[in-house]
Chains A and B, each alone.
Chain A
């Protein structure tokens, strides 16, 4: 037992070292994003340049730029006026040239695809973010199906499952069961587990130097929050609706007053989920990028190393935020599900 603990602590120490090393590398390579831009437009004002870089970094893009000169084109899928146009984003040459399909001329304007003759194309492109959503999709499938298979041979998890099982159990025992209740929690487990790991992993991807930010897109957080809302609404019992439209235990005029407020509340709840995740991740990225940008403003070695240290510390914080936001989203979803299936013994 003692020997096992000792080995475990050494293992943990090694793990911490690895994390710190990865972070330093990550911060260092994030500078790439600036360095590339810096070289290309050296005549511009440096502050505007940093601002542009940050806003560019926060945006989705139609090609996946790893570093200057190394980029992968991604498929563009457009639905314009009843026509489905599919072509490679390489045709835009990083937004410098327009591309024509059957008389429709598309060009890239600040990350948006516009049509020359004024048609409004609906963009279903496989963008950088979609690519990473897909990568996380595949990663999670691989991880958890492997974990599930490991239980067939052994009742104890092996390999990655040893790390994942405590988290799965934590979500079940400390998020789902206390908030939803022993009786109903099972039907929400799949969603809660998926949403937790999805947000966590994709947030962690956001901290890598790959320059992806999926959860700081309102479309992504809206999609997630909407699923929580739909699940809450669909599975809600009579008592839940009773408490919204006809609050028991208050006088009738109050009931009439409370109904619209309560109804509005059901929409506010998932809306807050959406904004919270979006805002936290966006803010984290903006602050981190701004501190990195300071390096180019200070230029001197003191200021630069200071902002490097600050960026490192902030990266650590963001590492926490990545898990924390996943936890909060899961926790609040569970809370809303809990209110939907709660059984009130009459007041």
Chain B
């Protein structure tokens, strides 16, 4: 201990303290400050870049998921549309068929009616003509019959006989 105190050099202590403190201050300003901030900036940069990459990856995943979802939705929609179209088509065809058959029925009915009418008309006409012809014939017969007095009497008698019977 005595030797330690004896050997203690004030000069060395002075120079060491002076140079060392100067070294700390100079290096702080010109070396440690810039070095540490550069390193920190770099680390920050790396961290940011990693985060950005992670984010991009996530976004990409989201995007892919979205795409798939949209695709699936589109497929479903397409299927629905196709189904609907098929249904509509069938409906239209069915409707058309139904419409066509009712129309045909109507036309047929009309035609039948018309035919019936024509038939009736023809029958009536025929009846009339037959009646006319009958009257004509009857007239002619009557004329020939009534030309003879006997025959007239006979006829009257006959007619009377019929009435009597009734």
**Residues of A bordering B, CB below 8 Å:** 59-60, 77, 122-127, 129-130, 133-134, 137, 140-141, 144-145, 147-149, 151-152, 155-156, 165, 168-169, 172, 186, 189-191, 193-194, 198, 217-220, 222-224, 226-227
What is the distance, in angstroms, from B125's C-beta to the closest C-beta of chain A?
Answer: 117
Inter-subunit contact A140/B23 (CB<8 Å): yes
**Is A144's CB under 8 angstroms from B11's CB?**
no
A148–B16 CB distance below 8 A: no
Nearest CB in chain B to that of A231: its residue = B24
Do B4 and A218 have beta carbons less than 8 Å apart? yes
Q: Bound state CA distance, A126 and B27, in angstroms?
A: 23
By secondary structure, the B interface counts as helix
Q: Which residues of B contact A155 (CB under 8 A)?
A: 38, 41-42, 45
- Residues 2-30 of B, flagged 1 when their CB comes within 8 A of A and 0 if not, give 00100111111111110111111011101
User: Do the beta carbons of B16 and A193 come within 8 Å of each other?
Assistant: no
Q: A219 to B24, Cβ gap below 8 A?
A: no
The 7 A-B pairs with the shortest beta carbon distances in the complex, nearest first, are A144-B31, A151-B38, A190-B28, A219-B13, A148-B34, A219-B12, A223-B16
> Which chain A residue shows the least CB distance to B31?
A144
Q: Is the CB of A122 within 8 A of B34?
A: no
- With A60-B9, A77-B11, A217-B12 as known contacts, state yes or no: A137 contacts B19, CB within 8 Å: yes
- B10, B12, B22: which has the most chain A beta carbons within 10 Å? B12
CA distance A59 to B28 in the complex (A): 32
Residue among A169, A194, A217, A222 with the highest chain B CB neighbour number at 10 A: A194
The one of B16, B23, B35 that contacts A151, using a Cβ cutoff of 8 Å: B35
- Partner pick for A218 among B7, B31, B45, CB 8 A cutoff: B7
| A169 and B32 form a contact (CB under 8 A) | no
CB 8 Å contact bits of B32-65 with A (1 = contact, 0 = none): 1111101101100100000000000000000000
A155: nearest residue on chain B (CB-CB)? B42
Assuming the A-B contacts A137-B22, A190-B27, are A126 and B15 also in contact, with contact meaning beta carbons closer than 8 angstroms in the complex? yes
Q: Assess the A198–B20 pair: CB atoms within 8 A.
A: yes
Chain B interface bracket (under 10, 10 to 19, 20 to 34, 35 or more): 20 to 34
Residues of B within 8 A of A141 (CB): 23, 26-27, 30-31
Note all chain B residues with C-beta closer than 8 A to A144.
27, 30-32, 35
Cβ of A148 and Cβ of B31 under 8 Å apart? yes
Q: Which residues 118-142 of B have a CB within 8 angstroms of A?
A: none
Which chain B residue shows the least CB distance to A144? B31
With beta carbons under 8 angstroms apart, the residue of A130, A191, A193 that contacts B11 is: A130
CB distance from B18 to the nearest CB of A (A): 9
> For the complex, what is the distance from the CA of A133 to the CA of B12, rounded to whole Å?
10
Give the CA-CA distance A222 to B7 in the complex, in Å.
13
Contact B35–A168 (Cβ < 8 Å)? yes
A194 to B24, CA, bound (A): 6
CA distance A7 to B17 in the complex (A): 43
Assuming the A-B contacts A140-B27, A148-B34, A190-B32, are A217 and B9 also in contact, with contact meaning beta carbons closer than 8 angstroms in the complex? yes
16 A-B contact pairs sorted by A residue (CB < 8 Å): A127-B11, A130-B15, A134-B19, A141-B26, A147-B35, A148-B33, A151-B38, A186-B36, A189-B32, A189-B36, A190-B33, A193-B27, A194-B20, A194-B24, A219-B10, A220-B16
A148 contacts B13, CB within 8 Å? no
Kindly list 20 other residue pairs between chains A and B, CB separation below 8 angstroms, not including A122-B11, A156-B42: A122-B10, A123-B10, A124-B11, A127-B11, A130-B11, A133-B16, A141-B26, A141-B30, A144-B31, A144-B32, A144-B35, A148-B38, A155-B42, A186-B36, A190-B32, A193-B32, A194-B24, A219-B8, A222-B13, A223-B20
